[in-house]
Structure formats: structure tokens, C-alpha cells
């Protein structure tokens, strides 16, 4: 019998749902998990999807990077790791379609970095967040420290990294980390609901908008406005934009109605 997959991939209509399935280790992210996640991101189910949901099976979203397998690496091994399976965080962040992390239970360290690499985080009230890295003598290094600063600002980022070993879903919502906070057990369903709505939108417009938002924090206002107008000029020529304009003129329903 082959080992069961560490990452389950399924399609729910236009949405790809990826579920971490290393329940007995609270979905600790080992290189093997990362390798399957990379394969899932490269796979047809994700590539053809209009949105992606990432969830965790069992009692946690993820208790973080696998400390048994990923601690004590030499500098050379760390460079090699990020050139290999450790690239999965950036790969997930770079997906063109909207991405949703559905979080319950522990969401710590690398698990939280993975959730931060999603566009949206939907958590249920059981979610427990935290960055244990500094306690371990390191720091979140899979893009999470930078993403956190972007999301919540430097002072709050330092607070979460240095002063708060754990914080609740309600607190995370207050810090602006969450798109939605839902009752226990409902994060995957709510994430799927939002993802299905996003997947109905014209795909090229979604991709270009997501990419524009991703680069704008690094872009001058003048360059950003130019990108907006060039993107508008290009998107305005698409079949989707033509169809939407005709639907409006004929008072027909749009993609989300």
C-alpha cells in the first residue's frame, strides 16, 4: 500500500482545495509535506482553478515547520533548503489566483507563515496563532516576517514576534490578520464559499489586480498609477470586459449575481 498523501488535492467546482494531512504531527511542515505541496501547486487541479483554499486536517491548521527535521541546519543547508522545498512559501504566495487559508487550532511558526502567504485568512474561534521562532533562537524566515510587517505595521509585528507567544483568533481579527472569523469547524466551508465567489470573477482581471496590489507597496505612486492605467487599457480589450459592458447595456446579470 502506498503511503497516504500528505497533501490532499480536490476540486470543488472552480476551486482547488488543498488539505495538509499529517494529522499525527499537527501538520508540521516537513520537507516531504513541502514537496507534496509544490507538486500540488504545479498540478492541473490548481492550475485550472479560479481560486485555492488551503486547510489542515485533524486538530490544527499547522503547528509550524517540522522542528525535528528543520532545526540545526548549517548555513549551506539553509540556502539549499530554500532553493528546494523551502521555496514553497514563495510559490504559494506567487499563485496568480486568489488564495484562502482556512485556519483552525494551532497556526504557529511556519504554519502561520504559510497562512500569511495566502491572500485571505479565514479562521474559526479555536485558532491559536503565534511565532515561536525567536524563542527558538531564530526568526520567521519563509517570507513571514516581511509579510507580517506589511500586513500589520512594524510596531504590531514586533509585538507579535517578540511579546506574544500566542494570540487568539479574536485578537488576530483585531490586528487585521483575518478576513473572517467564524464559529468552530466552519473555516473551510466559509473559505470555500468566498473562494467560489472569487472564482466567478473574470480571471484575467483578478490576476492583474492581485499582482498590482502585490507590487504597489514597492512602487512609487506615479508608477502605480501608470500600471493601473496600462492594465486597464489591456483588460478593457478582453472578451470578459466586452461581455460585462454588453451585459450592463442589456441589463443582464453579472458573473456574481
Q: How far is the CB of 22 from ligand COA (least distance, A)?
A: 9
Work out whether 88 is an interface residue with ligand COA (CB under 6 A): no
Work out whether 32 is an interface residue with ligand COA (CB under 6 A): no
Decide if 51 is catalytic. Answer: no
Q: How many beta carbons lie within 10 A of that of residue 166, not counting itself?
A: 12
Decide if 133 is catalytic. Answer: yes
Work out whether 129 is an interface residue with ligand COA (CB under 6 A): no
Of 48 and 136, CB closest to ligand COA: 136
Decide if 65 is catalytic. Answer: yes
Work out whether 26 is an interface residue with ligand COA (CB under 6 A): yes
Would you state the cell numbers that stand for residue 204, as one nine-digit string?
Answer: 484575467
Window of 49-57, 81-89, 107-115, 147-155 that interacts with ligand COA by CB under 6 A: 107-115
Distance CA 2, CA 187 (A): 30
**If DSSP states are collapsed to H, E and C, what string results for 29-48?**
ECHHHHHHHHHHHHCHHHHC
Distance CA 179, CA 194 (A): 10
66: Cα within 13 Å, side-chain hemisphere: 17
- Report the alpha-carbon angle 140-103-23, nearest 5: 85
Decide if 76 is catalytic. Answer: no
Work out whether 164 is an interface residue with ligand COA (CB under 6 A): no
Supply the residues annotated as catalytic: 65, 110, 113, 133
Residue numbers of the site for ligand COA (CB under 6 A)? 25-26, 28, 63-68, 106, 108-110, 132-133
Amino acid at each position: 500500500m502506498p503511503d497516504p498523501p500528505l497533501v490532499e488535492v480536490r476540486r470543488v467546482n472552480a476551486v482547488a482545495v488543498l488539505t495538509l494531512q499529517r494529522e499525527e504531527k499537527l501538520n508540521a511542515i516537513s520537507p516531504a509535506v513541502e514537496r507534496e505541496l509544490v507538486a500540488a501547486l504545479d498540478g492541473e487541479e490548481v492550475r485550472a482553478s479560479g481560486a485555492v483554499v488551503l486547510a489542515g486536517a485533524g486538530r490544527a491548521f499547522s503547528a509550524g515547520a517540522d522542528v525535528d527535521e528543520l532545526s540545526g541546519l548549517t548555513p549551506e543547508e539553509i540556502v539549499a533548503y530554500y532553493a528546494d522545498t523551502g521555496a514553497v512559501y514563495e510559490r504559494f504566495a506567487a499563485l496568480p489566483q486568489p488564495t484562502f487559508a482556512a485556519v483552525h487550532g494551532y497556526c504557529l511558526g511556519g504554519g502561520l507563515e504559510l497562512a500569511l502567504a495566502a491572500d485571505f485568512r479565514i479562521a474559526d474561534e479555536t485558532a491559536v496563532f503565534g511565532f515561536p521562532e525567536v524563542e527558538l533562537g531564530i526568526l520567521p524566515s519563509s517570507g513571514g516576517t516581511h509579510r507580517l510587517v506589511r500586513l500589520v505595521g512594524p510596531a504590531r509585528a514586533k509585538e507579535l514576534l517578540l511579546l506574544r507567544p500566542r494570540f487568539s483568533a479574536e485578537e488576530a481579527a483585531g490586528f487585521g490578520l483575518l478576513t473572517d472569523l467564524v464559529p468552530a469547524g466552519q473555516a473551510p466551508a466559509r473559505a470555500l464559499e468566498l473562494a467560489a465567489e472569487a472564482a466567478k470573477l473574470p480571471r484575467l482581471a483578478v490576476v492583474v489586480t492581485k499582482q498590482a496590489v502585490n507590487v504597489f507597496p514597492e512602487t512609487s505612486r506615479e508608477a502605480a498609477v501608470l500600471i493601473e492605467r496600462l492594465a486597464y487599457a489591456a483588460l478593457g480589450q478582453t472578451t470578459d470586459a466586452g461581455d460585462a459592458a454588453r451585459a450592463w447595456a442589456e441589463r443582464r446579470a453579472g458573473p456574481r449575481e
